Structure 1
């Protein structure tokens, strides 16, 4: 089977042109890799593997960390994935109260968690190099028209790149926190949608490097600071304990918001840089799609459908083959309406001149057709290309 790229790009273009339907974007770990950087400075932010390698190098002489990684390997966990490492630490903290677990005390584990989160914060506390980045192109599209329904941006990243781009462009947004000195999370404003419609919504599902947790008078409290603090309890959630009791707010409220968004009539959510390796998010997306057949989730995946003859994103493909309103596009193949097929077309439509630049090899029928919106830079160029245009191709 083949998929017609012009037909589906036109449909995407028309869907994104609606100002009275819910439109959302899901920005995940692969997106920072699309930012062009000067020679020797790429990437702006490393991927999970690169970040983990940096942490392992920084802590290679830390005796407690050596004990931790040794025990991690004994438990058949990966020392090349910081999410596994933090999950392991946090699971040990739960059972270490007043004792020692795997040669590490509760104090050792808490110190390691703080140290690792501090390194993550330092690696992610970076700025976009200029105002011509993919993040800025997304921001320009968001501010291009006054929408009857606000745009919602979900992200699993705990960097501040989305915030920087929106603020550079003076795009007002609400992230769930209110206040100026020690901003606190306002659950009522989120759940009751009590924010002006011209404010974009920014939901940081996995926390942020400028979110912190402190012991209040009666319970632990979460707040957001305008400054990045050292030696603080950064509220970032790269682990399966995102919804553990002391960390569940605002995580549960934000994952619920993702579900509510998809359940809205005729909603469209575009995923960028997401590899479908978080089962909790996958379940949230699929369950909401099952409850709302009018919704559409489009996963734009980086690279080819296969890598070394193996499926590049097996979790995404499995879900898309079962759920009609979850579509997945890779560079060379797409699963649309549960039907899998390579990108191919009989001829270029006469009215498709503005779409042709996004169908690679469109002028050479002997070469494989490629649609590369899975590159966040190309997708945001697609958005910018149609700013101010009507719904026609």
Structure 2
């Protein structure tokens, strides 16, 4: 039976991250804040996943009162109907990104219209404002200490000399990456320049006109500190003041020209990065639920066979559930796929790999993890990422590879700093 060696893949990843001339990027997505350990007196998670954020927004809006002059129903009533309209499109359990995308789609066709699906133009505008405001409030948090995986990523970036700059892409709206980089004084560029009202510099993004020692931080879906000024230009806030128009893009939906411009420029930046010779992009916390991002990644990989994407996914690829059968006590065991979209894409694209806890797809081949030797040591098992599974008799019955946990990835990067610096000293460089 085929298997993949996690120790070998650890060494491959270490070698890839150590090559200073190879284009290396990280893609940080929604699952990563869940890896931040919280103090016992504080609630976990620091930031909820998309499902948790969806519940939070609904609960918060249910507390609101009508704020639109002449409104005939509460904001909560309008939001409930909005969700019902999204369900009618085939989304059985819509999340906040589905809801906000649908809302903005209706806003595009509501200008000048008396009524769209029972919503007035003013009601739609107010719903979008309150949804984005509630998202910003929930995501405006700080890391609990300087030991988070975000800090470990920033430390790795800061301690490894490279000829080619690191590029970090994220779909998250929060400011956790910025906090970690700034606390460690790691220079980065996010597309904005200026002091009083930093503005988006399209030329600098498209032409990559930034010093090489600056990390690139590309927030593809916007940020809670991006907003529109009265002239409809996009600015980055320096104070997180309350704004009428937060730049939060849950999807590729073309909203208006000013909001669309940063999104399209940053999507193009992702495409250009993957089209570089031997580029490697490491995904963490991304579940492949965004079809437009998937298309961008897959099209670039098709056009550039030398590029590689490694998706580190949290948890197992498969899960086993038991359901009641026809008999009263009969139980039927079923196996389902946790990441069916990722599996489909990786099995048909040799330069897209997915690494879950229990299995991996590498070079299009799906197989369980299994080291080719049983006496590997801690020097090879970087960050304690490879963990044996033992039965009641302490016999090893399998292995799991935990790099899909952003916290373990942080430990992996932390260990690499010492190993690479030790290697430099050994080599006499």
| Fold-level similarity (TM above 0.5) | yes
1:284 correspondence with 2:284: no
From 78, 81, 103, the equivalent of 2:95 is 81
Contact 1:28 1:274 in 2 (8 A): yes
From 114, 134, 142, the equivalent of 2:157 is 142
Contact 2:223 2:248 in 1 (8 A): yes
Shift of the alpha carbon at 1:246? Answer: 4.3
| Cross-structure match for 1:273 | 285
Shift of the alpha carbon at 1:361? Answer: 1.1
RMSD over aligned CA atoms reads 1.8
From 389, 399, 404, the equivalent of 1:374 is 404
1:70 correspondence with 2:84: yes
Q: How far apart in 2 are the matches of 1:32 and 1:57? A: 21
Shift of the alpha carbon at 1:95? Answer: 1.4
Pairwise mapping of residues 89-108 of structure 1 onto structure 2 (< 5 A)? 89-98=103-112, 99-108=114-123
Give the 3-state SS of the residue equivalent to 1:76 in structure 2: coil
Shift of the alpha carbon at 1:147? Answer: 1.1
Give the 3-state SS of the residue equivalent to 1:146 in structure 2: coil
From 58, 61, 67, the equivalent of 1:59 is 61
Deviation larger for 349-358 or 55-64: 349-358
Contact 2:87 2:94 in 1 (8 A): no
Cα pair distance change 1:336/1:79, threshold 3 Å = closer
User: Larger radius of gyration, structure 1 or 2?
Assistant: 2
Cα pair distance change 1:259/1:385, threshold 3 Å = same
Contact 1:206 1:242 in 2 (8 A): no
| Cross-structure match for 2:32 | 31
Deviation larger for 118-127 or 140-149: 140-149
Cα pair distance change 1:136/1:264, threshold 3 Å = same
Cα pair distance change 1:41/1:302, threshold 3 Å = same
Shift of the alpha carbon at 1:80? Answer: 4.4
Q: How far apart in 1 are the matches of 2:388 and 2:336? A: 24
| Cross-structure match for 2:225 | 210
Pairwise mapping of residues 1-393 of structure 1 onto structure 2 (< 5 A)? 1-39=2-40, 40-60=42-62, 62-78=76-92, 80-98=94-112, 99-216=114-231, 220-242=232-254, 245-308=257-320, 309-348=335-374, 353-355=379-381, 357-361=384-388, 366-390=396-420
Shift of the alpha carbon at 1:48? Answer: 0.5
Contact 2:6 2:370 in 1 (8 A): yes
Per-residue CA deviations over 1:36-58 (Å, capped at 9, x if unaligned) read 01235100000011011011111
Q: How far apart in 2 are the matches of 1:262 and 1:151? A: 13
Contact 1:243 1:251 in 2 (8 A): no
| Cross-structure match for 2:69 | none
Give the 3-state SS of the residue equivalent to 2:353 in structure 1: strand
Shift of the alpha carbon at 1:191? Answer: 1.5
Q: How far apart in 1 are the matches of 2:307 and 2:58? A: 42
Give the 3-state SS of the residue equivalent to 2:402 in structure 1: coil
Shift of the alpha carbon at 1:299? Answer: 0.1
Contact 1:78 1:85 in 2 (8 A): no
Shift of the alpha carbon at 1:365? Answer: 5.9
Contact 1:144 1:387 in 2 (8 A): yes
TM-score calculated relative to the size of structure 1? 0.95
Give the 3-state SS of the residue equivalent to 1:369 in structure 2: strand
TM-score calculated relative to the size of structure 2? 0.87
Shift of the alpha carbon at 1:75? Answer: 3.5
Q: How far apart in 2 are the matches of 1:352 and 1:44? A: 31
Q: How far apart in 2 are the matches of 1:354 and 1:152? A: 27
Gaps of 5+ in 2: 64-75, 321-334, 424-429
Shift of the alpha carbon at 1:79? Answer: 5.5
Give the 3-state SS of the residue equivalent to 1:24 in structure 2: strand
Give the 3-state SS of the residue equivalent to 1:182 in structure 2: coil
Contact 2:108 2:255 in 1 (8 A): no
Q: How far apart in 2 are the matches of 1:169 and 1:35? A: 17
Per-residue CA deviations over 1:138-178 (Å, capped at 9, x if unaligned) read 00000012210110000000000000000000000000000
Q: How far apart in 2 are the matches of 1:387 and 1:112? A: 47
